[in-house]
Amino acid sequence: MENVPSQKSAVAYLYPPVDPFDQRILEVGDGHKVYVEQCGNPAGIPVVVLHGGPGGGCSPAMRRYFDPAKYRIVLFDQRGCGRSRPHASVVANTTWHLVADIELIRITLGIDRWIVFGGSWGATLALIYAQSHSGSVAALALRGVFLMTQGELDWFYGGGAGRFWPDLWQRFVQLVPEDERGNLVEAYHRRLFSGDMMTETKYARAWAQWENALAAIDSDGRVGESPADYARAFARLENHYFYHNGWLDADHQILARTDRLARIPGVIVQGRYDMICPPLSAYTLAQQWPLAKLTFVGRAGHALSEPGISAELVRAMDGFAADRTRLGL
């Protein structure tokens, strides 16, 4: 069975559920208050979990990728989503605000260096944070790599993924007038920030549904509607970041700065059939980052909850725990 992880559910590979020993609301400035929690061993290896989206929020399942006897697990909801407030707000909400928030959390909790764990947008943010604060990062664990490039956005919002899911793509596109379909990120942006709550919710649910339907390899495309509050925060924040190209100075900024990762070991876990973040990004990153180990999971898509991906991530974090001394943690 260990050779065919897809025959088990993801939870079979995870550690048992664990409750936080610390929960707090941290004022990060600009009127934003960010939810932060800590789980596991207060004297353990510090690891911070960066959720996807932007706007996805953290969940209790994310605590379970780490041995609670060995890790001090830090999770937080990024600005505008989850339990952070103001909800669904894009004011003073950029990549660089989030990078500053991560550093503030580290300093507030008295952590010298930590492992950074992130998937999808969380992988993007982890890379940008590590390139900005390399001295704070002992190692990176990434899943479903997204490099915040126009090519990746064109794939998912310009018809690339739609060639595999034409029925769902048509449902996503048909909500927009034909003369606006040349730039769906911009077209949805107008409606997600229209000021009319019913319109925003309608388009937020459609935005979230398109992504959720393609996340897992075994998806049949049928997903229910997300709760209105969640969908609105998720779609508004994600669209806001993509509309502004992540506030990066250049399209391939992350790849252009891989020299800043030269001394940071990393693990990249990538679903071979990831429809949301195609594997080329993970492969290209690994080619330019000598201390990174890339593992392709053969029968997996994008979702964190896929069995093969969960198995590899837990294995990676167990490996980092065994190397605590070498990592200087």
Residue of 89, 274, 281, 310 with catalytic role: 274
| Residue the block writes with tokens 């990592």 | 327
Strand runs labelled E in 3-52 = 22-29, 32-40, 45-50
Strand runs labelled E in the chain = 22-29, 32-40, 45-50, 71-76, 114-119, 137-143, 266-271, 292-297
* 249 is known as an active-site residue: no
Q: Are the C-beta atoms of residues 89 and 80 closer than 8 Å to each other? A: yes
Residue of 32, 97, 189, 302 with catalytic role: 302
| b/e per residue 235-262 (b: at least 16 CB within 10 A) | bbbbbbbbbebbebeebebbbebbebbe
* 274 is known as an active-site residue: yes
What are the distances in angstroms from CA 285 to CA 51, 157, 198? Answer: 20, 22, 41
Residue of 84, 89, 120, 136 with catalytic role: 120
H or E segment at 209? Answer: helix 197-213
What is the three-class DSSP state of 34? Answer: strand
Q: Which residues are catalytic?
A: 120, 274, 302
